[in-house]
Amino acid sequence: MIPWLDNLNPEFPPVEHALKEPDGLLCAGGNLSVDTLASAYRQGIFPWFSDDQPILWWSPDPRMILTPETLRISKSMRKLLRQQRNGERFRLTANQSFAEVIQACAEIRKKHEGTWITEDMQSAYIDLYKAGYAHSIEVWSDDSLVGGLYGVAMGRVFFGESMFSRESNTSKLALIVLLQTALFDVVDCQVHTHHLESLGAQLVSRKSFIERIQPLLTSTSAGALTTDSLCSKIL
């Protein structure tokens, strides 16, 4: 049995208590308030559940992370970045259409694999966005949203939640440009995928992950993720 959190005052158990199977399942219940979600991320915990499940909280071991040092950019993506520098391809913005990005991510997931980005999750992350924790990157073709990602930023850590593409390589473009802003030392990718591995993401132990992010969460050197900071750093 896993612990059940109090709905009004949830207190997370130590992440070391998470199950090995399914990997990282820590507890259930609680709520999706801004304070609860912020507390969870600071402890290396995130919510992940379907419509027919209670709120489930996870802290997998190992954890997949991506850093500016390990980022791999393919030849095709380098070509796309050159075109971006020359203003020939897409338009990138930050925090301009958060609700539209999270809705697009939910639609893509539902179509291909079933979505964990439920209506409750969307509402919760929109509240996080309004509170200044959650952020989105949008990729536009003319006035059409064709790709992007969203996640939670704390200090110099970006906890990636989901991304989507309606045109080839647009989610990759958003992620690469996010790393190139030099605003974040670690992007938490949560769990392994071959797609993220191809970009240079690596698995680290949960212990190493949490030890690594703790001093970064309160870093005062972190700047703001804005459209200007996003577009000025395209290499």
Residues 76 and 164 placed together within one structural domain of the fold: yes
SS3 208: helix
Residues 116 and 223 placed together within one structural domain of the fold: yes
Residue numbers of the domain that contains 38 = 4-60
Sheet arrangement for strand 56-58:
4-5, 25-29, 56-58, 46-47
Domain end point (choices 22, 45, 60): 60
Residue 139, pLDDT score: 97
CA distance 29 to 131: 22
Residues 28 and 88 placed together within one structural domain of the fold: no
Q: What is the CATH number of the domain that holds 137?
A: 3.40.630.70
Residue 46, pLDDT score: 98
**Hey, which bits of 56-185 come out as E strands?**
56-58, 63-66, 91-94, 134-141, 144-154, 157-165
Residue 156, pLDDT score: 96
Spatial neighbors of 86 by CB under 8 A, at least 6 apart, are none
CA distance 63 to 146: 29
Burial 95-127 (b: 16+ CB within 10 A, else e): beebeebbbbbbebeeeeeebbbbeebbebbbe
Residues 19 and 103 placed together within one structural domain of the fold: no
Ramachandran bin of 80, using left for φ above 0, alpha for ψ from -120 to 50, beta for the remaining angles: alpha
Cα–Cα nearest to 114, from 169, 51, 54, 168: 51
Residues 101 and 140 placed together within one structural domain of the fold: yes
CA distance 206 to 210: 6
Residues 13 and 70 placed together within one structural domain of the fold: no
Query: Following DSSP, what letter does each residue of 18-81 receive, concatenated?
Result: S-TTTTTEEEEE----HHHHHHHHHTT-EE---TTS--EEE--SSEEEE-TTT----HHHHHHH
Residues 72 and 155 placed together within one structural domain of the fold: yes
pLDDT mean for each 10 residues of the chain (235 residues): 94 98 98 98 97 95 98 94 84 97 86 74 98 97 96 97 95 96 96 94 98 94 85 68
Place of tokens 């993401």: 201
pTM of the entire predicted model: 0.95
- Do 225 and 95 meet the contact criterion of CB atoms below 8 Å apart? yes
CA distance 83 to 19: 46
CA distance 134 to 121: 12
Residue 235, pLDDT score: 56
Integer-rounded Cα Rg, in Å, for the chain is: 17
Residues 8 and 109 placed together within one structural domain of the fold: no
Q: How many residues in total does the chain contain?
A: 235
If one counts every other C-beta atom within 10 angstroms of the C-beta of residue 26, the result is: 25
